Amino acid sequence: MSISNRRAGLLYLQFDGVMQEAKGDFTYNLGNPKREPLIGADGTHGYKETPQVSFIEGAITDSQTLKLDELTTIDGATITLNLANGKTIVLSNAWYAGEGTPSTAEAEIGVRFESRLKAQEL
């Protein structure tokens, strides 16, 4: 079995199984708790955990068939991000959490999807 050396580059984004024209850099968070140190006068005592929202965020290319009103009202969707390194990030029961402001210079729309459920890393 060979292992690919590719780590970054091509990626694919889907909303409920419909492929989108992904642009540029995407970020994601699985929604694991954030750990922060508990510091006392005598040193570090341990840590506390605070919740984080799971999300997938980036930009897509606007098109004639993409309806901004439908995009910005997405709720309960499955968002899938396929990365060049072979990982797939799946965000279930997600809602659109972006601003919904397109840029005409590059036909770009920033997208952010969040969920109360932890994202899956496949």
SS3 114: strand
Give the separation between CA 118 and CA 90, rounded to whole angstroms. Answer: 9
Q: Return the domain boundaries, the chain.
A: 12-33+49-121
Q: What is the pLDDT of residue 82?
A: 87
H-type helices in 1-122, by residue range? 68-72
The answer to whether the predicted template modeling score (pTM) of the entire model surpasses 0.85 is yes
What would the two tokens of residue 119 be?
A: 């994202």
CB atoms within 10 A of CB 73: 11
Give residue 2's pLDDT band: very low, low, confident or very high (50, 70, 90).
low
**Eight-state DSSP code of residue 118:** P
Q: Are 93 and 62 in contact (CB under 8 A)?
A: no
pLDDT at 76: 96
Summarised one tens digit per residue, pLDDT across range 45-95 is: 999 999 999 999 999 999 888 899 999 999 999 999 988 888 899 999 999
Is 10's pLDDT higher than 80?
A: no
Give the chain's mean pLDDT: 90
Asked whether the CA dihedral 14, 34, 116, 71 is positive or negative, the reply is: negative
Question: What are the residues facing 44 on neighbouring strands?
Answer: 39
**Confidence bin at 14 (pLDDT 50/70/90):** confident
Percent of the chain scored above 90 by pLDDT?
70
